[in-house]
Structure 1
Amino acid sequence: MDIIGIGYLGFESTKLDEWRSYGPEVLGFQIGKSPEADAESLYFRIDDRRHRFAFHPGKVDRLAYIGWEARGKLEFEAAARRLREAGIEVTMGDAALRELRGVRDVFRFRDPVGYQHELFYGQKWMPRSFVPGRPHGGFVAGERGLGHLVVITPEFPPELEHFLTEVMGFHYYGAGAGKGKTAFYRSRLNDSTSHDIAYGHGPGKMGIQHVGLFVKNLRDVGETYDIVKQRKLPMMMTLGQHTQDPHVSFYHFSPGGFAIEVITELEPWHPDGFELNPEQLSTWGHELVGPILGPSVRTPEDVQDAEGLEVLAALARKRAAA
C-alpha cells in the first residue's frame, strides 16, 4: 500500500480539561477548531493540517483509532481493494465521518488483534496557518506523518505480522534493543525513520504505550524537558540518544497515561534498508525513572470496545481449534 505514515490519531479521554492546557503549554500544540458535529471534542494541530490529534469525551482514557494517510485517491482505492481481497472487512466512511476527519475520503478496518484503523487521503490544510500554543520551533510531520506510535498487544499471532507486512505492505525493521517480543514497522513510502508503528507483546495487556513526536531542533526538546521538570510531570526516561536512530529524546507521561517521546534528529536517518541489532537501547542517557507501561496499558476489557474484543475472541477461538 502507498501509505505516507500516520496522519492523525484519535483518543477517548476523561481528562479533556487537562489536555486543553497540557497540549499547548507543555507540548506547544495549537488548539484547532472542533467540527460543529463534534463540538465537545478537543482537536490539536502541530502543522498546517486541520488537525493531527483528536480527543473525544469518553468513560476511559484509551486509543480510539489510528488514521493512516494514503498518497492520493487511486492509492486509497487500491488499498481498499487489497484489504477486501485479504478478507478484511472495510467500512467506507460517510459524509459525516469525512467531515469530522476533514478528509476527501476515509474507510475503517481492524487489525488481527482488534485495534481500530482508518485510511484516508486529502486532509484539509492551509499553508502557514499553524500557530504554536507557546514559543516553539515547530514539529516535523508532513511527508513522514505525525510521528510514531507504540501499542501493546495481548497476543502476537502470525496473522498480525502477515497483516502488517503482506497486506499493509509495511517494512519490518526488527525488534530493536527492546526486551521481549516487539516488532517495528514503517510504511512503504516512509524511508526517514525506523518505524511508524510498533507492537509490543504484553500477555493479557492492551493499550497505547507511547507516541513519538519529532520537533525541528534540539532547543525544542530541551525547553519541553525543562517545562516537564518544572511542572513535576511524571517521567519515563530522561534525556538521551538512541542507538538505532540518530535521535535525542526524552519520555514523559501525558494526561492520558501514555508516554510522549519528544524527539529531534541529530543527523538524517540512515537509509540502511536492513535490520539493525543494537546491543543496547541508547548510547547515553535515557535513564529509566518511571514504568515502561503506564496506566494507559490495562486489560483488553478496560481499553477495547465491543467490536475490538470480538476480534480478539475470534482469534482465541481460531487458536483453540488449530
Structure 2
Amino acid sequence: MNPPDSLFGSVHLGYVVIETNRFDDWHRFGRDAIGLHADRLSHHAMRFRLDDHESRFLLQRGDAEDVTALGWHIDDHQSFDRIVARVRDRGVPVTEGTDEETALRGVERLLRFPGPKGIDQEIFTRARTTSAPLEMSNTGFVTGASGIGHVAVTTTQPHKLRGYYDTVFDARLSDYIDETINGAKIKIRFLRVNERHHSVAIAAVRGMPVDPVRTRIQHLNIQVAELDDMTRSYQRVKELGFDMALSVGQHTNDRELSYYATTPSGFEWEVGWNPIVVDESTWEPTTHRGISIWGHTPEGQTIIDKLTQFKTAAWSLRHREETVPALSGAGIADD
C-alpha cells in the first residue's frame, strides 16, 4: 500500500527529447525501420508518435547526438505540486517551459529541473492529443499507465542516481542483474515508478569508477503490441542497413522479448514485447545472474568498437560525472 504522500503510480515516462543533426538518418530509422509515425515539423524539429499523443519523441537540431531531456507525465496537479516542492525545498532550480517548448513537446505546460548525467527532467500533467491517423508499420504500442517504455543509463555514481529517482518520484527497486561483459563485472539496478517493471535502469561497473558509454543514456525502450511487430521491425532494421547491437533474446528479470538496434546518434534503441507487469502485493526484489535467458548476442562488434569503449572509459576516469547532490540524498547503498 502506498504511503499517503507517495508519488508511486502517478508518474509515467511520457516523452524523450533527442538532439541531433542527423535528421534524414533518424527519419529512416524511426519511420522506415522501427515503424513509428513521423512528423517533420521544420528544418529544426521532427517528432515521432506511438499513439494519440502529439509527441512521444522530439528530435531537435544540435550537436549532442544524445538524449537531452526526459518528460514525465504526472497524473494530477497535487502530485505535480508535490514534486515541485521536493525539488525547490532542496534548493534546486525549477524553470517553466516556454510556449514554443510546450508546443513542440505536445503538452500544455511543463516545468524543468536538472537531472543526473546532464539529462533535464521535465514534468507535465496534460498531453495534447490528436485524432490524426497514425501512419506506421506496427499494429500499435503499449503506453498508458505503463508510460512509453524505459531508459537505461551507465554511471559511476549508481547510488546517487538511485537516490535521485527515489527522492523525486518515490521510485521502487524491482530487482538487480549481475553480469560480466568483456571481463568487467556489471551491476544493474531496475527502478519502477508504476506498474511497468522498470522505467529507469542504472548500470555500473563494480569496483571501478568508469563509464564505457559516450552517450548520456545507453538505450531507450519501447514496447510493441504484437510479437509480429517486433520481428518485422527487426527484419526492417537489418534490411535497411542499420547496425544491430543485440539480436532477439529474452531478459531474465522482466521476461521481455526484444532486440537492440543502434540509433543514428549512437545510443541503442530496444524494441520489446510482452514484459511482465509487477504485482505490488507479491513482488520482492531479487538478483538475477545474467541479462538474458537466451539470445541478445552481440552483432557486428569490431575491435575498433571495443577500443572506443576502452577510450571512453579512460576519459570518464578524468571527468567528474554530473549529479544533483541536493536531490540524491546520501545515495542508497544497496550492495
TM range, smaller chain: 0.7 to 0.9
Distance 1:167 1:270 in 2: 21
Residues 217 and 157 of structure 1: is their aligned pair in 2 closer, same or farther, counting only changes over 3 Å? closer
- Code of the residue aligned with 1:83 in structure 2: it is V
Residues 152 and 130 of structure 1: is their aligned pair in 2 closer, same or farther, counting only changes over 3 Å? farther
- Code of the residue aligned with 2:31 in structure 1: it is P
Q: Structure 2 unaligned segments of length 5 or more: list them.
A: 1-6, 180-184, 331-335
Distance 1:297 1:256 in 2: 19
Residues 280 and 172 of structure 1: is their aligned pair in 2 closer, same or farther, counting only changes over 3 Å? same
Matches within 5 A, 1:115-264: 115-127=119-131, 129-134=132-137, 136-153=138-155, 155-156=156-157, 158-178=159-179, 179-187=185-193, 190-191=194-195, 193-201=196-204, 203-204=210-211, 207-264=216-273
CA contact (8 A) 1:61 1:296 kept: no
Residues 20 and 99 of structure 1: is their aligned pair in 2 closer, same or farther, counting only changes over 3 Å? same
CA contact (8 A) 1:132 1:138 kept: no
The Cα of 1:298 is off from its aligned counterpart by: 8.7
Distance 1:276 1:75 in 2: 29
Q: Structure 1 unaligned segments of length 5 or more: list them.
A: 304-308
Tell me the SS of whatever aligns to 1:200.
strand
Distance 2:321 2:298 in 1: 36
Residues 161 and 46 of structure 1: is their aligned pair in 2 closer, same or farther, counting only changes over 3 Å? same
Tell me the SS of whatever aligns to 1:222.
helix
CA contact (8 A) 2:29 2:242 kept: no
Deviations 1:253-294 (A, max 9, x none): 11121111111117x424242113222322222222255999
Where does residue 269 of structure 1 map in the other structure? 277
The Cα of 1:158 is off from its aligned counterpart by: 4.1
Distance 1:310 1:150 in 2: 16
Where does residue 86 of structure 2 map in the other structure? 82
Tell me the SS of whatever aligns to 2:236.
helix
The Cα of 1:73 is off from its aligned counterpart by: 2.1
CA contact (8 A) 1:62 1:296 kept: no
| RMSD, matched Cα | 3.2
Residues 1:24 and 2:31 aligned together? yes
Tell me the SS of whatever aligns to 1:208.
coil
CA contact (8 A) 2:197 2:278 kept: no
The Cα of 1:246 is off from its aligned counterpart by: 2.5
The Cα of 1:299 is off from its aligned counterpart by: 5.9
Residues 200 and 298 of structure 1: is their aligned pair in 2 closer, same or farther, counting only changes over 3 Å? farther
- Code of the residue aligned with 1:274 in structure 2: it is E
Residues 112 and 25 of structure 1: is their aligned pair in 2 closer, same or farther, counting only changes over 3 Å? closer
Where does residue 306 of structure 1 map in the other structure? none
The Cα of 1:98 is off from its aligned counterpart by: 2.4
Deviations 1:92-141 (A, max 9, x none): 223333223222221111125432111111010135x441333x211111
The Cα of 1:238 is off from its aligned counterpart by: 1.1
The Cα of 1:4 is off from its aligned counterpart by: 2.8
Distance 1:112 1:15 in 2: 25
Distance 2:202 2:124 in 1: 22
* Larger displacement relative to structure 2 (43-52 or 69-78): 69-78
Tell me the SS of whatever aligns to 1:174.
strand
Which of 66, 72, 78 is the equivalent residue of 2:76?
Answer: 72
Residues 269 and 61 of structure 1: is their aligned pair in 2 closer, same or farther, counting only changes over 3 Å? same
What TM-score results when the alignment is normalised by the length of structure 1? 0.82
What TM-score results when the alignment is normalised by the length of structure 2? 0.79
Deviations 1:133-186 (A, max 9, x none): 33x211111221111111222x31644332211332111223224442432211
Matches within 5 A, 1:84-99: 84-99=88-103
The Cα of 1:311 is off from its aligned counterpart by: 4.8
Percent of residue pairs bearing the same amino acid type: 27
Deviations 1:26-56 (A, max 9, x none): 111111363xxx6621111111100100111
